[in-house]
Structure 1
Amino acid sequence: MKKLVLVILIVAINGIKAQDQYSKGMQKAMELWSEQKTVDASNLFERIATAEMDNWLPYYYVAMVNITASFGEEDEQKLSLQLEKAKEYIDMAKNISPDNVEILVLEAMMNTAWIAFDGATYGMTLSGKNVQLYKKAAELAPENPRVVFGKAEWDMGAARYFGKDTAPYCKDIERALQLFATFKPETEFHPNWGKERAEQIAEECKS
Structure 2
Amino acid sequence: MKKLLLSLALSLVSLSTFAQTTYEKAMSDKIAKIETSKTADEFHALSNDFVRIADKEKGKWLPNYYAALAQIQKGRTLMREGKMDQLDAAADAAQKYVDLAMTADANNSEIYLLQKMIYSLKMVVNPMERYMTFGMKADEQLKKAESLNPQNPRVALIKAEDTYFTPAQYGGSQTKGIELFKVALEKYSSFKPKTALDPNWGKSEAEYFVSQAAGK
Tell me, what secondary structure is at the counterpart of 1:142? Answer: coil
Candidates 37, 47, 52, aligned match of 1:47: 52
The aligned runs of 1:1-207 (5 Å cut-off) are: 1-30=2-31, 34-36=36-38, 37-73=42-78, 74=83, 76=85, 78-158=86-166, 160=168, 162=170, 164-203=172-211, 205-206=213-214, 207=216
AA at the equivalent of 1:85: A
Conserved 8 A contact 1:71-1:116: no
Runs of at least 5 residues in structure 1 that lack an aligned partner in the other structure: none
Q: CA deviation at 1:88?
A: 0.6
- RMSD of equivalent CA atoms: 2.4
Q: Under a length normalisation based on structure 1, what TM-score does the superposition of the two structures give?
A: 0.85
Distance 1:4 1:41 in 2: 42
Conserved 8 A contact 1:185-1:192: yes
Q: Under a length normalisation based on structure 2, what TM-score does the superposition of the two structures give?
A: 0.82
Conserved 8 A contact 2:109-2:145: yes
Q: CA deviation at 1:121?
A: 3.3
State, as a whole percentage, how many aligned pairs show the same letter: 30
Distance 2:77 2:45 in 1: 20
Pair 1:135–1:30, CA change in 2 (3 A) = closer
Runs of at least 5 residues in structure 2 that lack an aligned partner in the other structure: none
